[in-house]
Amino acid sequence: MARPTSNPVPRPYFLHGWEFMAFIQANDDEAIAIRASTGLEGPAIVYNEFVVSAAELEDRDLAKWWLLPSMFHIAYVVLHECLSSPDGVGRFTTVAWTAYRQAVCRHSAMAWAQILNGALREGTEFMADHMANCLFVESGMRDRIDAGGPVLMG
- pTM of the prediction? 0.89
Q: Model confidence over 138-150: pLDDT tens digits? A: 998 988 888 874 4
How far apart (Å, rounded) are the C-alpha atoms in residues 97 and 40? 9
How far apart (Å, rounded) are the C-alpha atoms in residues 131 and 92? 16
Closest alpha carbon to 10 in 146, 18, 79: 18
Task: Identify whether the C-beta of residue 66 lies closer than 8 Å to the C-beta of residue 34.
Answer: yes
- The residue ranges of every structural domain in the chain are 6-147
Reduced to 3 states (helix: H, G, I; strand: E, B; else coil), residue 111 is: coil
Q: Model confidence over 62-106: pLDDT tens digits? A: 898 999 999 999 999 999 999 999 999 999 999 999 999 999 999
